[in-house]
């Protein structure tokens, strides 16, 4: 049974159908494999860059991340538009995985051509951004191939796949640290070590993903009715005169996009986590890889708990998306408040020194010690704050356990809760329209900050330390919660807007 409705957005046929669980399962298996490779590889990039090119700065790293984000924005928009035009997400997703394979291959040869390491790292990260942009239509597929009543479960599967992947990925990384560096010699000058093993894993999982998408995935877009248990969309449309057709709430859509931007802003603050933790806790490159892998495993466990709750215990039907979003942003705010370098903390950040040797807290003394170290032609890795940063001698050092526990709560609870509930609520607000372009806008909105955000954040970080970054993050989180409370009543699914307007039409005119 079908009915047609005129719309300024798209003229679509509303179908009474079922959730396409097979394609959703396949898509989530691919997402699971991607999460494994991300969980295993993400913590190795900065330490590997620093090892191959010791003079590389955080500003260069931020510029690299910004370039990748720009590539991600452009390709996500193109992928969304193209998928809308052909009503199919499959080609974009396959192409994304192919680009990922090319990027992984390039990364493996960075140590072979170490003189061009920085350029190759840039190209790798840009290709990674392109691949992510192509794969972003995966969210469109979930939104358009699930009933509204089953959308929480569908996106819960996505969170479950990501959580398990991010939990398993760091476990692989912990295992890979046993190979050390330079590790085992392979062919063409390549090595199997703690920095390259995750990329070999990424190469393999990408190939498996391509096979699954080609042979088992149906990327055709469908527009589903919203809730079989409640009044059908067709009946709702029949209640409303065609001259008074209900459109999705653009204000609500903008508010959700704004919240998505703040989530990504919060995560940008965490992009300096690698360099920052190596600095304040005086970790070596190998320690940084190991400890971040352990932290990511813990965050994966937290995410797994929520994912299981959504898929098997129907948490999405027990707690509203709006309530979950308040909890999520509360977690981000808690992290930045607890890890802010408050004035009452006594200990400051130590400067560069050889692990196990004397620790310096004065920039002048640390510079003299480093001059002696360089003159002696020592080859040991230095740990601690760069002698170029004057702010280290004045910045309080946050407790290592407080920082990492709060980071696990923010990334393991705040991030997945915000992601899944923003995804669900955004798709519900849009209603029965082709969502390819809208989902691309939603995905790219947060990525816009990632173009210049990492560059600005790392520039501020190298100049003044973490204080101003944390201060902005705290203000942004508080302002987002304020906006959320103001527009709380408007953040409802499209189906509820239809029902509300239908009920208003049934009332006598003097009650409207």
Residue 336: CB partners within 8 Å, gap ≥ 6? 266, 269, 470, 473, 474, 477
Of 280, 329, 261, whose CA–CA distance to 467 is shortest? 280
Per-residue model confidence (pLDDT) at position 4: 42
Residue 235: CB partners within 8 Å, gap ≥ 6? none
Answer yes or no: are the C-beta atoms of 163 and 303 closer than 8 Å: yes
Answer yes or no: are the C-beta atoms of 505 and 239 closer than 8 Å: yes
Neighbours of 113 (CB within 10 A): 12
Strands 184-185 and 12-15: unpaired
Neighbours of 71 (CB within 10 A): 22
Residues of the chain with pLDDT under 50: 1-16, 224-244, 510-512
Residue 21: CB partners within 8 Å, gap ≥ 6? none
Per-residue model confidence (pLDDT) at position 369: 81
Helix, strand, coil content of the chain in percent (nearest 5):
70, 5, 25
How many residues in total does the chain contain? 512
Q: How far is CA 96 from the centre of its chain?
A: 17
Q: Tell me the C-alpha distance between 180 and 275, whole Å.
A: 20
Per-residue model confidence (pLDDT) at position 403: 92
Residue 191 pairs in a beta bridge with 185
> Which CATH code is given to the segment(s) 14-224+247-347+396-502?
1.20.1250.20
Per-residue model confidence (pLDDT) at position 152: 74
Structure tokens at 312: 């098997």
Sign of dihedral through CA atoms 452, 457, 460, 461?
negative
Residue 353 pairs in a beta bridge with 383
Q: What is the pLDDT of residues 291-319, one digit of tens each?
A: 887 887 788 788 778 778 877 777 767 78
Helix intervals (H) in 244-349: 250-269, 273-280, 285-312, 315-318, 321-338
Q: Tell me the C-alpha distance between 359 and 19, whole Å.
A: 61
Of 253, 215, 291, 240, whose CA–CA distance to 44 is shortest? 291
| H helix or E strand, kind and range, residue 2 | strand 2-5
Ordered by start, the domain boundaries in the chain are 14-224+247-347+396-502
Residue 487: CB partners within 8 Å, gap ≥ 6? 251, 252, 255
Q: Tell me the C-alpha distance between 121 and 114, whole Å.
A: 10
Q: Tell me the C-alpha distance between 119 and 471, whole Å.
A: 33
Neighbours of 109 (CB within 10 A): 16
Q: Tell me the C-alpha distance between 268 and 332, whole Å.
A: 12
Q: Tell me the C-alpha distance between 87 and 223, whole Å.
A: 11
Q: Tell me the C-alpha distance between 82 and 496, whole Å.
A: 30
Q: Tell me the C-alpha distance between 412 and 409, whole Å.
A: 5
236: helix, strand or coil = helix
Residue 302: CB partners within 8 Å, gap ≥ 6? 163, 408, 409, 412, 413, 416
Structure tokens at 156: 């819960």
Rounded to two decimals, the pTM is 0.67
Q: Tell me the C-alpha distance between 143 and 13, whole Å.
A: 16
Q: Tell me the C-alpha distance between 419 and 425, whole Å.
A: 10
């Amino acid at each position: 049974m079908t009915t047609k409705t005129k719309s300024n957005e798209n003229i679509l046929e509303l179908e009474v159908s079922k959730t396409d669980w097979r394609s959703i399962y396949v898509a989530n298996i691919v997402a699971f494999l991607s999460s494994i490779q991300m969980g295993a590889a993400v913590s190795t990039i900065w330490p590997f860059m620093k090892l191959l090119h010791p003079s590389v700065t955080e500003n260069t790293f931020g510029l690299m991340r910004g370039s990748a984000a720009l590539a991600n924005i452009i390709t996500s928009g193109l992928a969304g538009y193209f998928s809308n035009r052909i009503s199919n997400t499959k080609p974009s997703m396959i192409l994304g995985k192919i680009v990922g394979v090319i990027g992984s291959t390039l990364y493996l040869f960075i140590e072979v051509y170490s003189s061009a390491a920085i350029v190759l790292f840039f190209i790798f990260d840009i290709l990674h951004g392109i691949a992510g942009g192509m794969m972003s239509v995966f969210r469109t597929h979930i939104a358009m191939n699930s009933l509204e009543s089953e959308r929480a479960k569908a996106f819960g599967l996505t969170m479950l796949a990501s959580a398990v992947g991010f939990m398993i990925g760091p476990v692989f990384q912990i295992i890979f640290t046993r190979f050390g560096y330079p590790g085992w010699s392979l062919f063409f000058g390549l090595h199997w070590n703690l920095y390259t093993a995750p990329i070999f894993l990424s190469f393999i999982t990408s190939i498996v993903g391509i096979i699954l998408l080609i042979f088992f995935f149906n990327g055709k877009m469908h527009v589903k009715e919203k809730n079989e248990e409640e009044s059908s969309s067709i009946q709702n449309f029949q209640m409303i005169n065609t001259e008074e057709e209900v459109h999705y709430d653009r204000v609500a859509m903008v508010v959700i996009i704004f919240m998505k931007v703040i989530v990504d802003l919060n995560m940008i603050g965490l992009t300096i986590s690698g360099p920052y933790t190596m600095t304040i806790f005086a970790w070596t490159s190998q320690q940084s890889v190991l400890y971040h892998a352990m932290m990511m495993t813990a965050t994966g466990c937290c995410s797994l708990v929520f994912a299981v709750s959504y898929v098997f215990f129907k948490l999405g039907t027990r707690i509203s998306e709006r309530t979950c979003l308040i909890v999520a942003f509360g977690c981000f705010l808690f992290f930045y408040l607890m890890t802010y370098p408050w004035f009452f903390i006594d200990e400051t950040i130590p400067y560069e020194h050889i692990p196990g040797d004397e620790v310096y807290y004065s920039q002048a003394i640390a510079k003299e010690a480093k001059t002696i170290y360089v003159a002696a032609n020592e080859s040991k890795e230095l740990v601690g704050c760069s002698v170029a940063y004057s702010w280290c001698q004045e910045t309080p050092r946050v407790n290592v356990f407080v920082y990492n526990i709060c980071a696990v709560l923010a990334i393991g609870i705040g991030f997945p809760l915000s992601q899944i509930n923003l995804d669900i609520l955004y798709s519900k607000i849009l209603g029965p329209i082709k969502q390819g372009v809208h989902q691309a806008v939603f995905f790219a909105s947060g990525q816009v900050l990632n173009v210049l955000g990492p560059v600005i954040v790392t520039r501020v970080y190298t100049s003044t330390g973490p204080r101003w970054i944390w201060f902005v993050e705290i203000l942004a989180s508080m302002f987002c919660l304020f906006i959320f409370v103001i527009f709380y009543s408007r953040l409802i699914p499209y189906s509820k807007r239809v029902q509300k307007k239908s009920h208003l039409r049934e009332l006598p005119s003097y009650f409207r």
